[in-house]
A and B are shown apart, each in its own frame.
Chain A
């Protein structure tokens, strides 16, 4: 498959995931399953941009690892904050 074709397919995938992900917002209040799904969609979209547009697979190891850490850290934090929000609130009580 040509490189331009891959870029085009990546864009189509991103658009479909974005529209599909937005549809999750139209539903009733989220339970943990929906939160995980939203985090998963976020992670997949960010990974597609990293791999196909930012070209991280060919980047130096440090850049690649730092960006992947940020990109995977966010969806994980979404899930953790939903699952352990009370604990986080207790830990940060002095801040607010």
Chain B
């Protein structure tokens, strides 16, 4: 954005007088805006609707089989569930810092935060691999009852969304590395960020339902 005089008009003298700056103070986002892009929010509300329906299935199944669901969390690995949560939360924090760094025109810092987000995000499918193996060793397969079936149904759906997010993260890292985003135009990065945070939110709901609530 070119510099503007106090009345909002473009001011060429100010533009030429302004020294080249590699970092800028991060300006807070304006109120009443759409974080990211409209298209991404359409996708997020589709995701939210999809999971709302699956949560409805969970609640109905729980109402019909309260004893099975009360005993369910004991059959799963709480360590794995907590591990997913910490990985996703830390990855989400890195993404939030990446967006903030981009707003401050610190592209290199933004890329480093995104790399951190990717590493922690990758922790999710890695833990999933070990957890599924552990589950199968303990007889928790698709015929292990309504609780386990609901658990697989919801968590594998969430895993798919995490995969989409990781692919998106690779894309925004490439865009950041090639200088495609700036403090003035980073809507692609922010769109990815809102998707990743929405996926975080879904997990923060899944985690207590299957690993904690008895």
Partners in one complex: yes
User: Number of B residues whose C-beta is below 8 Å from A?
Assistant: 51
Please determine whether B93 and A41 come into contact, CB atoms closer than 8 angstroms.
no
Tell me the smallest distance from the CB of B115 to a CB of chain A, in Å.
17
* Known contacts A4-B100, A70-B48, A78-B209; A54/B197 CB under 8 A: yes
Chain B positions 1-51 with a Cβ under 8 Å from a chain A Cβ: 26, 28-35, 41, 45, 48
What does DSSP make chain A's interface, helix, strand, loop or mixed?
helix
- CB within 8 A of B100: which of A7, A77, A96? A7
> How long is the Cα–Cα vector from A63 to B37 in the complex, in angstroms?
12
CB within 8 Å: A-B pair count: 136
Residues on the A chain within 8 Å of B45, using CB: 66
Given the complex, which residues of B lie within 8 Å of A50, measured CB to CB?
Answer: 201
Given A7-B93, A11-B93, A81-B62, A22 and B82 touching (CB < 8 A)? yes
Q: Indicate if B140 sits at the interface (CB-CB under 8 A).
A: no
Q: How far is the CA of A3 from the CA of B64 in the complex (A)?
A: 46
Chain A residues in 8 Å Cβ range of B201:
46, 49-50, 54, 71
**Known pairs A11-B93, A15-B86, A29-B70; A55 contacts B55 (CB<8 A):** no
- In contact, A21 and B212 (Cβ under 8 angstroms): yes
- Residues of A that sit less than 8 Å from B by CB: 3-4, 7-8, 10-11, 14-15, 18-19, 21-22, 24-26, 29-30, 34-35, 38-39, 41-42, 45-46, 49-50, 52-61, 63, 66-67, 70-71, 74, 77-78, 81, 85-86, 88-89, 92, 95-96
